[in-house]
Amino acid sequence: MNNPFSLKGKNILVTGASSGIGKAIAITAAAMDAQLHITARNEQRLNETYNSLTGPGHTTHIADLNIDAETEALVTSVSKLDGVVLSSGIIKTLPFKFINEGELNAIMQTNFTSPVLLLSKLIKSKKLNSGCSIVFISSIGGNFVGAKGNAMYSASKGAINAIQKVLTLELAPQKIRVNNVAPGMVKTEMWENSTTFSAEQIEEDAKRYPLGYGETSDVANAVVYLLSDASKWVTGISLVLDGGFSVQ
């Protein structure tokens, strides 16, 4: 019986694959028989992800997407793609009145400008097959809810959602789909090791989520759906994953 959720025969690039959500996506996609190109800045952690992948044919690419030459090298080195997952990103909590140009530029560069320019280079280099699925990792922040101290991060994710709408229309003639996954709070190493909030604050915040905080596997499974042929008639959406938080 045909499995529409299988990724067998699909060649997929995952950025930010060395940790957190990106790592979970890579591992889950490999388990669904995809052939992966995984990229991140940290070679040791990226190799740890690589060693967790099942199946043959995967490749690693050390690249800082904020450096144009390294992005160009990545685009040159990957083969034609059936899927692109843009997962790399950073977060910085700062009250709005303390925002400064350097902090704002850093977040916008990593979360918005760099993935967008990478995608532009892939398109111009004709590295995306017809039927390719592009998946941005966005957030409920900036698109569905607001949170104090989260202005810069929310702005970067809101920008992703805005440009996605245009890409959806421009790439549809090539049967290329453009979607995003918008998670609420997900338990990652970065969050669990954060010194910004105390354990008590995190525990109290988790109570605001009807189903509690998410796991990285929850996001990875949603991304697999958007990469697979099961979603071949799905484009231009934000798939909200927040355990019921935003309906309150």
* Number of folded domains that form the chain: 1
Give the model's pLDDT for residue 105.
97
HSE-CB at 235 with a 13 A cutoff on CA atoms is 22
Give the model's pLDDT for residue 59.
98
Tell me the residue range of the domain where 159 lies. 11-241
Give the model's pLDDT for residue 197.
67
Catalogue the active-site residues: 153
Residue 3 resides in a domain? no
Beta-bridged to residue 186, according to DSSP, are 214
Interatomic CA distance for residues 150 and 146, integer angstroms: 7
- Spell out, as residue ranges, where the chain has pLDDT lower than 50: none
Residue 179 phi, psi dihedral angles, 5° rounding: -130, 170
| CB contact at 8 A, 26 and 14 | yes
Residue 165 resides in a domain? yes
SS3 74: helix
How high does pLDDT run on average in the chain? 94
> pTM for the whole thing?
0.95
Give the model's pLDDT for residue 85.
98
Residue 6 resides in a domain? no
Give the model's pLDDT for residue 147.
87
Strands 81-86 and 128-137: parallel
Which domain CATH number covers 42?
Answer: 3.40.50.720
Residue 119 resides in a domain? yes
Residue 2 resides in a domain? no
Q: Cα dist. 111→3, 16, 47, 115, 159 in Å?
A: 33, 11, 23, 7, 9
